[in-house]
C-alpha cells in the first residue's frame, strides 16, 4: 500500500509549510490540513497567509485547490486519510504539576482521542509536534481504545525546519528523522519524503530516539547560543571581541562555524520550551544534575536579555525614564512575523518598567501582536494586568512604519531583530533627527560594519 491521502491536524508554523511542501513534491498525494481555528484556516485560503515565510506563498498558491486543502472539516479528513500527522501546539504548562517546565500535551491528547473516535480501518499516525520522549506511549494507549475497531501505527517524525528559512529547510533538509516500530509503516513515510529527499538523508530509529533527538537538537543549538553569549559578557569586560572569538573557534571543524552569533538572546517557540521540557523530564527520571546542567542554558539567555537593558540604562547616564527609545525589530529573528519568546518582548518590558517611551518598528509584526505579547508579559498571573502596567502600554508604547519614523527625536535605537533592511537606511539622516548624544544598542551586531561612529553615533554591540 502506498499513501494517497494525508491529513495534518494543526495549520501552524510547522504543519502549514510542511504539508505545502509534501503537496508540492507529491502531486499524487492528496493533502488536507485541518485546524479548529476557523480564522487561521480562512487565512490559509486567502491571499494573505497567516505566516510570513519567504517562498511559502508561491508553493501554497501552486497547490491549493489541487492536492492541498485547508479546512475545518476535521472528522471527514481523518476518516479518509491513510496517514494522519499531529502538528498541534505543545506549549509549556502554565498550571499544575510541572507548571513552567513540562509540555502541555492537552492538544496532542485531544487529537489522539478524536482520531480514536472517528477513524475507520488502518491509519498511520505521525507525531510531528515536538513532544517529550515517551509521548508515543500515551498516544498508542489512547488509540488502542478506538471506537470503530480501527488499528494504528504510531510514528515520530519531528520537524527540524527553522522559521524564516522553512522552505529552504524543507526542500533540502540535512536529514529527515522517522522513528517507529513496524518496518512497513516506517517505509510508508520514507516513501513520502523520498519523492524529493535523498534516501541516505532519511534516518530511521526507534520511537524514543526520534522523540528525544528533537529535544536534544534544540537543546544543543540553544546551548551554543548561550555559550557564545556567556563569552560575550566576558568580552565586554576584557576588550576581546566576541565576533572575532566566534570566528576563531568556529574554524575548528570539531566546533564548526554555525550558531555562534552572539545576540541579545535566543527566542522563538522552540528553544526555551524544549529545554524546559528536557529539564522537567530529567527531574522526572531522577536526574537532577542533568536537569541543572540544561537549565543553565535558559538562565544564561535570561541574563543576556537583562544585561542588554542594564547596559542601555547605565550608558544613558543611569536613566531612560521619559526618554524615547526606537525599537528596530520585534520578531524573534529576521524573515518571520513570529514573536513567540522574542527577546524584544523582555527588553521592551524592562525598558517600560524603567519608564522609557518606546517606539516600535518591525516590517512584519502587527501592532496588535506586540500589544498582546506585552500584556501577557506584564500580567501578574490570574490577576491580569494592573492599572499601572496598563498605563505603561497605553501611554509609553507607540508604533512607527519605518526605522526613520521610529528614531526621530529618540535618544537611542535598540536593534532587536536582524532584518536586512535595517542595514540599508541613511544613518546620517537618522542621526540628525535624534537627540544627542545619539546611541545605538545593536542586539544583533548587524550594523557593526556600517561604521556608525562616522555618522556621529555612540555605538554599542554585543560582546565588544
If one asks whether residue 15 binds ligand UDX (CB under 6 A), the answer comes out as no
328 with 414: CB under 8 angstroms? yes
> Do residues 301 and 225 make contact, with C-beta atoms less than 8 angstroms apart?
yes
- Region of 121 on the Ramachandran plot (φ > 0 left; ψ -120 to 50 alpha; else beta): left
Beta bridge partners of 442: 415
Query: What is the spatial distance between Cα 122 and Cα 77, in angstroms, rounded to a whole number?
Result: 14
Binding mask 225-264 for ligand ADP (x = CB under 6 A): ----------------------------------------
Q: What angle do CA 154, 156, 160 make, to 5 degrees?
A: 160
Stretch that binds ligand UDX, among 232-240, 255-263, 378-386, 405-413 (CB under 6 A): 255-263
- Part in contact with ligand ADP (CB under 6 A); list of ranges 87-95, 238-246, 352-360, 443-451: 87-95
User: With CB cut-offs between 5 and 8 Å by kind, which of ligand ADP, ligand UDX, none does residue 292 bind?
Assistant: none
User: Least distance in Å: CB of 91 to ligand ADP?
Assistant: 8
String marking each residue 158-197 x if it binds ligand UDX according to CB under 6 A: -xxxxx----------------------------------
Q: Which does 85 bind (CB under 5 to 8 A by kind): ligand UDX, ligand ADP, none?
A: none
Give every CB contact of residue 376 below 8 A, 6+ residues apart in sequence. none
Q: Does residue 399 touch ligand ADP according to CB under 6 A?
A: no
Q: How far is the CB of 264 from ligand UDX (least distance, A)?
A: 8
In the complex, minimum distance from the CB of residue 59 to ligand UDX, in angstroms, rounded to a whole number: 18
Residue 128 to residue 144: CA distance in whole angstroms = 20
Pairing of strands 122-127, 324-328: unpaired
**Which residues, 179 to 218, sit near ligand ADP by CB under 6 A?**
none
Catalytic residue among 270, 282, 359, 403: 270
Contact partner, 221, from ligand UDX, ligand ADP, none, Cβ < 5-8 Å per class: ligand UDX
Residues 329-344: b if buried by 16+ CB within 10 A, e if exposed: bbbbbbbbbbbbbbbb
Q: Sign of the CA dihedral 342, 173, 279, 125?
A: positive
Min dist CB 293 to ligand UDX, Å, is 16
Assign 202 to helix, strand or coil: strand
Question: Would residue 235 show up in a list of annotated catalytic residues for this protein?
Answer: no
Determine if 107 is a binding residue for ligand ADP (CB under 6 A).
Answer: yes
Which residue's entry shows cell 491571499? 47
Q: Which residue is nearest to ligand ADP, using beta carbons?
A: 12
Which residues, in sequence order, are CB contacts of 289 under 8 Å at separation 6+? none
- State the Cα–Cα distance between residues 332 and 272, nearest whole angstrom: 12
CA atoms within 13 A on the CB side of 399: 14
- Cα–Cα distance for residue pair 242/235, rounded to 1 Å: 6
Residue 127, interface with ligand UDX (CB under 6 A)? no
Task: State the catalytic residues.
Answer: 270
Residues binding ligand UDX (CB under 6 A): 159-163, 218, 221, 225, 259-261, 263, 266-268, 270-271, 332-333
**Binding stretches for ligand ADP (CB under 6 A):** 9-15, 35-37, 40, 74, 87-89, 107, 110-111, 129, 269
Amino acid at each position: 500500500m502506498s499513501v494517497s491521502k494525508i491529513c495534518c491536524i494543526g495549520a501552524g508554523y510547522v504543519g502549514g509549510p510542511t504539508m505545502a511542501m509534501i503537496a508540492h513534491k507529491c502531486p499524487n498525494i492528496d493533502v488536507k490540513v485541518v485546524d479548529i481555528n476557523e480564522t487561521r484556516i480562512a487565512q490559509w485560503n486567502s491571499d494573505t497567509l497567516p505566516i510570513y515565510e519567504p517562498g511559502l506563498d508561491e508553493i501554497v498558491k501552486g497547490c491549493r485547490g489541487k492536492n492541498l486543502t485547508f479546512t475545518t472539516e476535521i472528522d471527514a479528513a481523518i476518516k479518509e486519510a491513510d496517514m494522519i500527522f499531529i502538528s498541534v501546539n505543545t506549549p509549556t504548562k502554565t498550571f499544575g504539576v510541572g507548571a513552567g517546565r513540562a509540555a502541555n500535551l492537552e492538544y496532542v491528547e485531544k487529537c489522539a482521542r478524536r482520531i480514536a473516535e472517528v477513524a475507520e480501518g488502518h491509519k498511520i499516525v505521525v507525531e510531528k509536534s515536538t513532544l517529550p520522549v515517551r509521548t508515543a506511549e500515551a498516544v498508542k494507549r489512547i488509540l488502542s481504545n478506538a471506537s470503530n475497531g480501527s488499528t494504528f501505527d504510531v510514528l515520530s517524525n519531528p520537524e527540524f525546519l527553522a522559521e524564516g528559512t522553512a522552505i529552504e529547510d524543507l526542500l533540502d533538509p540535512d536529514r529527515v528523522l522517522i522513528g517507529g516500530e513496524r518496518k512497513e509503516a516506517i517505509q510508508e513515510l520514507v516513501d513520502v519524503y523520498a519523492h524529493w529527499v535523498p534516501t541516505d538523508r532519511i534516518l530511521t530509529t526507534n520511537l524514543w530516539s526520534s522523540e528525544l533527538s528533537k529535544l536534544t537538537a534544540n537543546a544543543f543549538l540553544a546551548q551554543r547560543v548561550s555559550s557564545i553569549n556567556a563569552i560575550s559578557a566576558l568580552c565586554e569586560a576584557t576588550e576581546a571581541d566576541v565576533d572575532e572569538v566566534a570566528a576563531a573557534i568556529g574554524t575548528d571543524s570539531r566546533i564548526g562555524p554555525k550558531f555562534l552569533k552572539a545576540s541579545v538572546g535566543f527566542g522563538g517557540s522552540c528553544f526555551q520550551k524544549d529545554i524546559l521540557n528536557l529539564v522537567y523530564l530529567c527531574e522526572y527520571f531522577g536526574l537532577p544534575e542533568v536537569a541543572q546542567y540544561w537549565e543553565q542554558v535558559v538562565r544564561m539567555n535570561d541574563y543576556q536579555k537583562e544585561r542588554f537593558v542594564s547596559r542601555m540604562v547605565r550608558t544613558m547616564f543611569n536613566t531612560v525614564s521619559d526618554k524615547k527609545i526606537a525599537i528596530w525589530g520585534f520578531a524573534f529573528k529576521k524573515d518571520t512575523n513570529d514573536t513567540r519568546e522574542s527577546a524584544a518582548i523582555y527588553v521592551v518590558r524592562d525598558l517600560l518598567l524603567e519608564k522609557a517611551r518606546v517606539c516600535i518598528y518591525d516590517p512584519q509584526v502587527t501592532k496588535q501582536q506586540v500589544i498582546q505579547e506585552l500584556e501577557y508579559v506584564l500580567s501578574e498571573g490570574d490577576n491580569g494586568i494592573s492599572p499601572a502596567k496598563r498605563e505603561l502600554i497605553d501611554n509609553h508604547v507607540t508604533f512607527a512604519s519605518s526605522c526613520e519614523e521610529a528614531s526621530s527625536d529618540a535618544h537611542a535605537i535598540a536593534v532587536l531583530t536582524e532584518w536586512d533592511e535595517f542595514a540599508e537606511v541613511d544613518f546620517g539622516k537618522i542621526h540628525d533627527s535624534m537627540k544627542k548624544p545619539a546611541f545605538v544598542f545593536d542586539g544583533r551586531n548587524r550594523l557593526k560594519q556600517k561604521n556608525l561612529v562616522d555618522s556621529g553615533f555612540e555605538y554599542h554591540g554585543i560582546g565588544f
